[in-house]
Amino acid sequence: MEFPFDVDALFPERITVLDQHLRPPARRPGTTTPARVDLQQQIMTIIDELGKASAKAQNLSAPITSASRMQSNRHVVYILKDSSARPAGKGAIIGFIKVGYKKLFVLDDREAHNELEPLCILDFYIHESVQRHGHGRELFQYMLQKERVEPHQLAIDRPSQKLLKFLNKHYNLETTVPQVNNFVIFEGFFAHQHPPARKLPPKRAEGDIKPYSSSDREFLKVAVEPPWPLNRAPRRATPPAHPPPRSSSLGNSPERGPLRPFVPEQELLRSLRLCPPHPTARLLLAADPGGSPAQRRRTSSLPRSEESRY
């Protein structure tokens, strides 16, 4: 890919590494230095054009690589230039590869969920005019050395058929581990993960989910009898043929045990007469002169005709 500015002067090395800041690399001694804003604008133009070319080659509706996306994410882009191609002495860009660490939930060969943050291949493109010349292998190998990873440790975001054939040809990556997202991982991905995988707890079956804590369940096992007369058990109605369904998300709630049969009235009155008065009742009787035992005796000793006066 050619540009109207000097690509060879902008990128002194054959492969240039840029992070989210998109800072121009150090320039060679003795070269003129234009305004820094102009250099960054040139870099942004190159990244935007590479992203468009990659999206077109993969039949994507929109580019997944752009200068604005680079600035808003902690991704790294490796840009490969061709120093031998010097149209008007300005050089050319061969291709690029974009990588970044992402937090993913991936399945292993036993279909267990694993929460990992591997290095991901997010975009990879070599210009059509220079494909099958070893440029892709050169760029990919440089990235592996810089990032210090093995090919089977990578996760690839929506790889094209060309990329899958490339990985199979140069790195013998063929057997994939099926996933439910757009990322592809290969056999051996979990063998040497650094840092180690953080596995999520397995999902509990709906029937095992309890709405109460263990202490609540122990408490509800003991039926608490309400005071009289609330403990008089009503006549039970005939249970419906089809009881209403319970919520499957909460499981079966514990049921109270049957209440004891209510005490006969004569036996209850006898037990109440034998019970000593409550201390509070004694205080109330002492505070009420009309309710004292002496007053009641005086009242009861009057003749019936005298009682009617009061």
pLDDT digits (tens, 9 = 90+) for 247-282: 444 444 445 555 555 556 667 666 666 666 666 666
- The CATH code of the domain at 7-186 is 3.40.630.30
| Annotated binding-site residue? 220 | no
Place of tokens 């992203």: 51
| Annotated binding-site residue? 132 | yes
- Answer whether residue 169 shows pLDDT above 70: yes
Instruction: Supply 118's token pair.
Output: 């591997």
So what's the pLDDT on residue 191?
Answer: 80
| Annotated binding-site residue? 298 | no
| Annotated binding-site residue? 257 | no
Average pLDDT for 85-107 = 86
| Annotated binding-site residue? 163 | yes
| Annotated binding-site residue? 166 | yes
| Annotated binding-site residue? 100 | no
- Pairing between strand 155-157 and 119-126? parallel
| Annotated binding-site residue? 209 | no
| Annotated binding-site residue? 165 | yes
Q: With cut-offs at 50, 70 and 90, classify the pLDDT of residue 202.
A: low
| Annotated binding-site residue? 172 | no
- Answer whether residue 210 shows pLDDT above 70: no
User: How much helix, strand and coil, in percent to the nearest 5, is found in the chain?
Assistant: 35, 15, 50
Q: What is d(CA 46, CA 174) in angstroms, rounded to the nearest whole number?
A: 33
| Annotated binding-site residue? 116 | no
51-56 long-range contacts (CB < 8 A, ≥24 apart) are 51/123, 53/1, 53/125, 53/127, 54/96, 54/123, 54/124, 54/125
Minimum mean pLDDT range among 18-22, 78-82, 92-96, 306-310: 306-310
The average confidence (pLDDT) of the chain is: 76
Instruction: Write down the domain spans for the chain.
Output: 7-186
Q: With cut-offs at 50, 70 and 90, classify the pLDDT of residue 193.
A: low
- Answer whether residue 155 shows pLDDT above 80: yes
Helix (H) or strand (E) holding 82: strand 76-82
Do 245 and 206 touch, CB atoms closer than 8 A? no
What is the value of pTM for the model shown?
A: 0.61
Do 120 and 32 touch, CB atoms closer than 8 A? no
| Annotated binding-site residue? 131 | yes
| Annotated binding-site residue? 90 | no
- Answer whether residue 96 shows pLDDT above 90: yes
Average pLDDT for 194-200 = 45
| Annotated binding-site residue? 186 | no
| Annotated binding-site residue? 78 | no
Average pLDDT for 220-234 = 55
- Answer whether residue 296 shows pLDDT above 70: no
So what's the pLDDT on residue 99?
Answer: 97
| Annotated binding-site residue? 168 | yes
255-262 long-range contacts (CB < 8 A, ≥24 apart) are 256/220, 256/223, 257/222, 257/223, 258/223, 259/223, 259/225, 259/231, 259/233, 260/225, 260/231, 261/233, 262/228, 262/231, 262/232, 262/233
Q: What is d(CA 205, CA 46) in angstroms, rounded to the nearest whole number?
A: 52
Q: Please name which of 47, 59, 42, 60 lies closest in space to residue 19, comparing C-alpha atoms.
A: 47
- Answer whether residue 226 shows pLDDT above 80: no
Task: Report the b/e string of 239-249 with b at 16+ CB within 10 A.
Answer: eeeeeeeeeee
Q: With cut-offs at 50, 70 and 90, classify the pLDDT of residue 42.
A: very high
| Annotated binding-site residue? 110 | no
Listed in sequence order, the residues at least 6 apart from 231 whose beta carbon sits closer than 8 Å to its beta carbon are 225, 259, 260, 262
| Annotated binding-site residue? 127 | yes
| Annotated binding-site residue? 97 | no
So what's the pLDDT on residue 45?
Answer: 95
Q: Where are the alpha helices (DSSP H) in the chain?
A: 7-10, 36-57, 67-72, 135-147, 161-171, 214-221, 265-274, 279-287, 293-301, 304-307
- Answer whether residue 211 shows pLDDT above 80: no
Q: Residue 46 burial by CB count (10 A; 0-12/13-18/19+): exposed, middle or buried? A: buried
Q: With cut-offs at 50, 70 and 90, classify the pLDDT of residue 244.
A: low
| Annotated binding-site residue? 160 | yes
